Amino acid sequence: MSEVIIPIDTFNPVEFFGVNDSNLEVIRKRFPELKLVARGNEIKVLGDEKNIHQFSEKINRLIQHYQKFGNLTVENVEHFLSENGKDASAQQAQNTADVLVFGQNGVMVRARTPNQKKMVESSEKNDVVFAIGPAGTGKTYTAVALAVRALKNREIKRIILTRPAVEAGENLGFLPGDLKEKIDPYLRPLYDALYDMIQGEKVKTYIENGIIEVAPLAFMRGRTLDNAFVILDEAQNATESQLKMFLTRMGPSAKFIVTGDITQIDLPKNQPSGLVQAIKILPSIRGIDFIYLDGGDVVRHRLVKEIIEAYHK
């Protein structure tokens, strides 16, 4: 008799096994010759080696379905365990080939414009990508989707999201609360993107365990960021020394995406933007790429595109 342990530590086992283990009971009926013990974040399987191999193939399809769509029904389990489940999986893979990540309620997050697709392609080929363009062009959202995809595929161990805490007309010192409460509003767009793509409780768990970190740019100083997907958002508000500091934090197995809008710099007039400097001095370095988005990439309300064009004129 052979024994195999299948980990399911990347999601909530209660949701995977179903209410009152309804999904698990369907699985047990499909493999009566195996003994299945579900305990915590793993399934222990005992039985004949050939049967265990068949079980592992089927259960991995269920895990992949759950990771993509965020839910698993009894009907899903019965379908994927049936003889035509393999064909259904192949068809589903074809239909979702360009999906970056499946968000809440199975919403498909894709690169929606040509320049967003360039961001995706560039990130797959380069370790540092600058995505530069006006508000609403999906720079941050696409970057976060790429990071979440890398985490789900176990290509990296953690996601680090950071922004300069620059006062754009507000005064941090006069805001209520402790340091975290003062800074969190500046980081809210990053949280919003995360909650679109990962279940709320899981985001909280990831943050508590350090798998996801959302922090001001100043908190990056002195660190080495490795085995991580790191996003610097609103980089136009990083000074030259801050951006250099950030880029030199990069470890051997890290991916960096830097996003910014050079038309919305909130630094003091006598303080040059590090992003503007980077555009001038870094393009010739192999492994660093610059993607420029424009009004044609705006995915917010139609008026946003017109507003951008009006200000540009």
Is the pTM value of this prediction over 0.75? no
- The answer to whether residue 40 scores a pLDDT higher than 90 is no
Alpha-carbon gap, residue 256 to 128, rounded angstroms: 5
The mean predicted confidence, pLDDT, of the chain is 83
The predicted pLDDT at position 96 comes to 52
Could you read off the pLDDT of 198-207 as tens digits, one per residue?
Answer: 888 888 899 9
Query: pLDDT-based confidence at 20, cuts 50/70/90?
Result: confident
Overall average pLDDT of the 224-248 stretch? 95
Strand 42-47: give its sheet, edge to edge.
2-7, 42-47, 35-39
Please provide the DSSP assignment of 197-218 as one string: HS-HHHHHHHHHTTSEEEEEGG
CA distances from 52 to 22, 104, 140, 188 (A): 21, 32, 43, 46
The predicted pLDDT at position 289 comes to 97
Residue 137's CB is within 10 A of a number of other CB atoms, namely 29
Detail the DSSP E strand segments found in the chain: 2-7, 35-39, 42-47, 99-102, 108-110, 128-132, 158-163, 212-216, 228-232, 255-260, 288-292
Q: Indicate the range of 215-224, 228-237, 294-303 predicted with least confidence.
A: 294-303
Residue 102 φ/ψ, nearest 5 degrees: -95, 120
Domains and CATH numbers, the chain: 2-96 (3.30.1370.10), 104-312 (3.40.50.300)
The predicted pLDDT at position 177 comes to 54
Could you read off the pLDDT of 90-118 as tens digits, one per residue?
Answer: 555 544 557 788 776 667 788 889 999 99
CA distances from 35 to 25, 48, 225, 265, 304 (A): 12, 10, 43, 62, 58
Residue 257 φ/ψ, nearest 5 degrees: -125, 130
Overall average pLDDT of the 11-25 stretch? 79
The predicted pLDDT at position 13 comes to 75
